[in-house]
């Protein structure tokens, strides 16, 4: 194999109650990248479409992850890489994670390195370090494993795949303002009262249980975030209005996607998810802020060959 074209899905991290510990992959939105094997041990980014990102391999998460994997595997090859970003960095939809995880998947396949999903997640987390300064696993794990994932532990890294009810559909509104993850992490409180922690971890348990049992009511009751949302929502224009409108339109639950500004909702079935999209649209259409709305199934597979 000399070349591989991959799709790396956009991801919704946190899923309200699971700050840094939960995520899921979208099936209808993601980046595409083409990796070509070369013989000179260099990593070259030769084309970037859809975003203004650095071509310097040391400064682009794609280059960082690719170089790390070539080094770790003592590879005699190099790579020429083309990137097509289909959603913007700073969206809260795991843009850097799609770049990092898509690269980890592609390099593994192209050079037949035989790393497993956990190891690929570790490589991709180094891309997150380059992007935002923190080795966060929720987006990259969702992008590699697909479906819903739980980061049960960071040290040692332990990723658990959670079943995804097939009727669960995501609606996402992406207001086209950029929020840097690094900045959004600074507003999350570092200390929380035990009472808040109890409410939060009880909801994580409820969400996991609801996903296992396809109990949509329980999933909905569990989609609350008492840790990050109260401070982060202030960075997102009209967050409360979108949440209220989407809930009134029938969403099971609504929250900030990753570090924002995107807002996600989960619904039972495509019809309900489209009603939620209309409600979100109703809030944003006269605000003067550009936005995009996506309605997507949950992707059961992660990064994959096209």
| Interface mask toward ligand HSE for 181-200; x: CB under 6 A | x--xx---------------
- In the complex with ligand HSE, the residue whose CB is nearer, 206 or 255, is 255
CB 95 within 8 A of CB 181: no
Q: From 27-35, 102-110, 133-141, 269-277, give the range in contact with ligand HSE by CB under 6 A.
A: 133-141
Per rule CB under 6 A, is residue 267 in the interface with ligand HSE? no
Whole-number Å distance between alpha carbons of 306 and 303: 10
Whole-number Å distance between alpha carbons of 124 and 135: 9
Instruction: Count CB neighbours of 282 within 10 A.
Output: 14
Per rule CB under 6 A, is residue 235 in the interface with ligand HSE? no
Per rule CB under 6 A, is residue 17 in the interface with ligand HSE? no
Nearest-CA neighbor of 36 among 80, 84, 102?
A: 80
Per rule CB under 6 A, is residue 225 in the interface with ligand HSE? no
Q: Which of 11, 103, 128, 171 is catalytic?
A: 128
Whole-number Å distance between alpha carbons of 289 and 291: 6
Whole-number Å distance between alpha carbons of 183 and 261: 12
Minimum Å distance from CB 225 to ligand HSE? 10
Per rule CB under 6 A, is residue 259 in the interface with ligand HSE? yes
Whole-number Å distance between alpha carbons of 224 and 303: 28
Determine whether 128 is an active site residue. Answer: yes
3-state secondary structure of 135: coil
Whole-number Å distance between alpha carbons of 100 and 123: 8
Give me 123's structure tokens: 């490589």
Determine whether 181 is an active site residue. Answer: yes
Whole-number Å distance between alpha carbons of 274 and 258: 21
Per rule CB under 6 A, is residue 14 in the interface with ligand HSE? yes
Minimum Å distance from CB 288 to ligand HSE? 26
- In the complex with ligand HSE, the residue whose CB is nearer, 69 or 141, is 141
Q: What is the dihedral of CA 89, 92, 98, 104, to 10 degrees?
A: 110
Q: From 25-33, 179-187, 218-226, 278-286, give the range in contact with ligand HSE by CB under 6 A.
A: 179-187
Give me 290's structure tokens: 């550009």
Q: From 64-72, 113-121, 135-143, 204-212, give the range in contact with ligand HSE by CB under 6 A.
A: 135-143
- In the complex with ligand HSE, the residue whose CB is nearer, 133 or 269, is 133
Instruction: Count CB neighbours of 103 within 10 A.
Output: 33
Position with the least CB separation from ligand HSE: 258
Per rule CB under 6 A, is residue 138 in the interface with ligand HSE? yes
Q: From 11-19, 100-108, 273-281, 287-295, give the range in contact with ligand HSE by CB under 6 A.
A: 11-19
Minimum Å distance from CB 11 to ligand HSE? 8
Question: Count of alpha carbons within 13 Å of 258, Cβ hemisphere only?
Answer: 34
- Interface with ligand HSE by CB under 6 A: which residues? 13-14, 19-20, 92, 136, 138-139, 181, 184-185, 258-259
Q: Which residues are catalytic?
A: 128, 181
């Amino acid at each position: 194999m000399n070349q591989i074209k991959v799709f790396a899905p956009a991801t919704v991290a946190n899923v309200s109650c699971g700050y840094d510990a939960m995520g899921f992959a979208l099936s209808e939105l993601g980046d595409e990248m083409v990796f070509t094997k070369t013989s000179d041990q260099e990593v070259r980014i030769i084309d970037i479409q859809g975003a203004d990102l650095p071509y310097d391999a040391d400064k682009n998460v794609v280059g960082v992850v690719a170089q790390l994997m070539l080094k770790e595997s003592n590879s005699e090859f190099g790579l020429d890489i083309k990137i097509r970003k289909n959603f913007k960095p700073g969206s809260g939809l795991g843009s850097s994670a799609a770049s990092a995880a898509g690269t980890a998947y592609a390099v593994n396949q192209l050079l037949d390195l035989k790393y497993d999903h956990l190891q690929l997640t570790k490589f991709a987390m180094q891309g997150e370090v380059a992007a935002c300064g923190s080795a966060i696993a929720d987006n990259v794990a969702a992008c590699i494993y697909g479906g819903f994932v739980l980061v049960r532990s960071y040290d040692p890294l332990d990723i658990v795949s959670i079943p995804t009810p097939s009727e669960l559909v995501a609606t996402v509104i992406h207001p086209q303002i950029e929020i840097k993850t690094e900045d959004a992490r600074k507003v999350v409180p570092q200390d929380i009262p035990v009472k808040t922690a109890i409410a939060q971890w009880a909801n994580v348990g409820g969400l996991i249980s609801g996903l296992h049992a396809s109990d949509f009511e329980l999933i909905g009751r569990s989609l609350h975030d008492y840790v990050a949302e109260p401070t982060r929502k202030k960075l997102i224009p009209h967050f409360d209005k979108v949440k209220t409108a989407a809930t009134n339109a029938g969403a099971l639950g609504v929250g900030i996607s990753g570090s924002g500004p995107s807002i996600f909702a989960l619904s039972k079935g495509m019809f309900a998810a489209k009603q939620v999209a209309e409600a979100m649209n109703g809030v944003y259409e006269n605000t003067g802020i550009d936005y995009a709305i996506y309605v997507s199934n949950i992707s059961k597979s992660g990064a994959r060959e096209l």
